[in-house]
Structure 1
């Protein structure tokens, strides 16, 4: 039986989560449907456009994404600090980008005077909206529901488009985050939808490579901030160049028609993560099969379960792929 989403989210342990949504009927999310003969590639742009629109509204950053033929992957970073820094009016302005609110919230957002007897109700609404703007379920709801309606309209049908629930996994440490991002970024290569990461359309890795060629990072994605941690802005605590090289090396290895090897620079990054080469390849090719719940070392999994008051540590055997010192 599926567990309530609140029993899977522990911001005390990690702000990073991997989410996956799959279509429930035969029609493809995108790509060619051999049964109907139709092509749905244009739906990829629906997903990507809406994903980044939501990123500007929510206090949630996109670290990685890949839109596949019948499912999509996103790695998200929940930025509670940003949500807490927003003023009351900023919270309402953000919320009203997606939802109408009510007469009271619209009045306050416009700077109009609020009656004393309305203050309690207004504060209650602001607190709810602030919480929702850094809520994983609300983010995925606002992503999946419009796409489902648009696809149903195009297919001239009704009913479910997505499976009943999106799947989410807590990524409990740096190694889990990087392994999951690489797994997501290499999805098109494993599925033979692309030969190289830079040819993988509608993926985060393609955006990062295109920006890197200009000496930049995509503004729409959570940035890599390097190895130094002190006085750094929010971001992924690794070198972008190291990550791109590691993904490229891994992509060459997992393709049967290419010859590749882990370079010395990539090997240094894996040693820093304390992940053996064979474990890394298994993680980036079988991540979805290995993990059906939280991802990380046994120690991090134990802390996660304690904070969520779980009596049992599920998926313990998968922790062996993230060895501790």
Structure 2
């Protein structure tokens, strides 16, 4: 039986999560139906646009994403501090971008007087909405429902468009985060949908590469890609929220990994990339295995054995899960 979300998601353990959602119908999310010949490729644009828009409302940022034929991947960063810093009106205005709210919240926005009892009730609602706006289950729900409505309207049908539960993996450390991001960004290359990362449509890696080309820079400060979680350079005490790596290093790493995957080579990685893998605690064989089979390598938690055991204990697991994979692939 699947574990409840509260036993899979703990911001105290990690703010980073890899989520995957898949279609249930034979009809494609994207691509071309080989039976009818109808193209659904435009739906990839729907999904990408929504993925990039929701972080402007939620206290959740997108580190990586890839929209495939019948599923999509997102790597999310939950920014609880951002949500805590919102004023009450900030929360209500953000929630109203997603839902209508209620009579009390609408009156609050119009600055109409509220009784003490009405204010107390509204404050309870605002606390609830604040929590939802930094909850990945609500993020995925809002994302999936919008696409399902559009797809069902276009197909002139009703019923489920997505599987009931999205898959979630907690990324407990830098090695897990970078490995998972590369796995997501290289999905189209692995699926033979693209020859290179820069030609992989509807992916975060293409967004980052195009922005770097436009600015002619890969500096982690000056070349940040709008709407995506930024790279902040090597970890330091005063690092802002972001991916603890240089953007230029990450692009080189993804490019080299993509070549290894396409040519089916398991030999030594280029010397210039060895320091990067060494820094995040991986060797080339471990990296290549995870970059091609990330979802199958891990279940709920992704990190080394120590971090996985700590997360399981924190979330009340009777038996640690994923320890074997952690020992084999992320020793340290």
Same fold (TM over 0.5): yes
Q: CA separation in 1, counterparts of 2:289 and 2:147?
A: 32
**Counterpart-to-counterpart distance in 2, 1:315 and 1:170:** 11
- How far off its partner does 1:291 sit? 1.3
Distance, in Å, in 2 between the alignment partners of 1:305 and 1:228 is 26
Unaligned ranges ≥5, structure 2: 218-222
Aligned partner (choices 248, 267, 274) of residue 267 of structure 1: 274
Q: TM-score, normalised by structure 1?
A: 0.97
1:1-325 equivalences under 5 Å are: 1-213=1-213, 214=215, 215=217, 216-256=223-263, 262-319=269-326, 320-324=328-332
Q: 1:8–1:170: 8 Å Cα contact kept in structure 2?
A: yes
Per the alignment, do residues 176 and 132 of structure 1 end up closer, same or farther by CA in structure 2, a change over 3 Å counting? same
RMSD of aligned Cα (Å):
1.5
Shift of 1:228: 4.0
Q: CA deviation at 1:111?
A: 2.6
Moved more, 295-304 or 253-262: 253-262
Cα 1:173–1:258, aligned 2, differ >3 Å: closer, same or farther?
A: closer
> Residue 261 and residue 107 in structure 1: after superposition, are their counterparts in 2 closer, same or farther (change >3 A)?
farther
Paired positions, count: 324
Query: 1:49-91 CA distances to partner (integer Å, 9 max, x unpaired)?
Result: 1112211000000000000011000000000000000011111
How far apart are the structure 2 equivalents of 1:287 and 1:168? 12
Q: Distance in 2 between matches of 1:260 and 1:23?
A: 36
Q: Return closer, same or farther for 1:70/1:260 CA change in 2, 3 Å cut-off.
A: farther
Query: Would the alpha carbon gap of residues 257 and 174 (structure 1) be closer, same or farther in structure 2, given more than 3 Å must change?
Result: closer
| Distance in structure 2 (CA, Å) of the matches to 1:36 and 1:176 | 41
CA distance in 2, matches of 1:247, 1:3: 32
TM-score by length of 2: 0.95
Deviating beyond 6 angstroms after TM superposition, the runs of 4 or more aligned structure 1 residues are 257-261
